Amino acid sequence: MNQRLIYVMGPSGAGKDSLLDWLKSKLPPQSPIHFAKRTIDRPLQPEGEQHESVDSPAFKRLQREKSFAMHWQANGRQYGVRHAELEPLQQRQWLLVNGSRAYLPEALRQFEGMTVLHISAGADILRARLLARQRETPEVVEARVQRAVAFSVPTSCHCVRVLNDTSLDDAGNELLTALALMPGWPKS
């Protein structure tokens, strides 16, 4: 069952959300590929990931009630994936979960056999993208870039790597090619 779980992760600025949106737009409407909706303690924004928005006390209550199959903190926010979001795996369908590098060891322990999709970009690209957002100081941006450079995926897991350094179409086509090679991936 876990072989159909794809755990997506990568540093801020790598373009994970953009690449996942690109992938969604290329899949046929009746595709057996699902994208887990996350619960995040931040308001919905017109642009960006459509998630279940809760405040911090509500998130903590859901966590205490064991409502999440996965949950973590990253960049000052709390993220969770509810148990119901994993139901496509029970029907032998594919599921992509937008996760966190810090939560990866726990996800690997919980979901043995899953595939890790590591989306990244070169240090200069990450730095430029993060600085262009103007959300953080240059020092915070540099710390993020250095964490991204230092990170390595454990060799014990199956990992698909996509470098999102050029165009979104290039990275998307690279992703589609890699996914098509996975055993059982639906043929378009």
* Structure confidence by residue, pLDDT tens digits, 3-55: 899 999 999 999 999 999 999 999 888 888 999 999 999 877 766 667 888 99
Residue 50 in any domain: the answer is no
135: pLDDT strictly greater than 90 = no
Domain that holds residue 107: 2-37+92-180
Report the number of distinct structural domains present in the chain: 1
Q: What is the mean pLDDT of residues 114-127?
A: 96
Residue 135 in any domain: the answer is yes
Pairing of strands 77-82, 52-53: unpaired
Q: Is there a contact between 163 and 171 (Cβ–Cβ < 8 Å)?
A: yes
Residue 100 in any domain: the answer is yes
Q: Of the ranges 48-52, 123-127, 165-169, which one carries the lowest mean pLDDT score? A: 48-52
Residue 56 in any domain: the answer is no
Residue 67 in any domain: the answer is no
Residue 140 in any domain: the answer is yes
At 158, which CATH number?
3.40.50.300
Angle, in degrees to the nearest 10, between helices 123-133 and 138-150: 150
Residue 158 in any domain: the answer is yes
DSSP3 helix / strand / coil % (the chain, rounded to 5): 40, 25, 35
Residue 82 in any domain: the answer is no
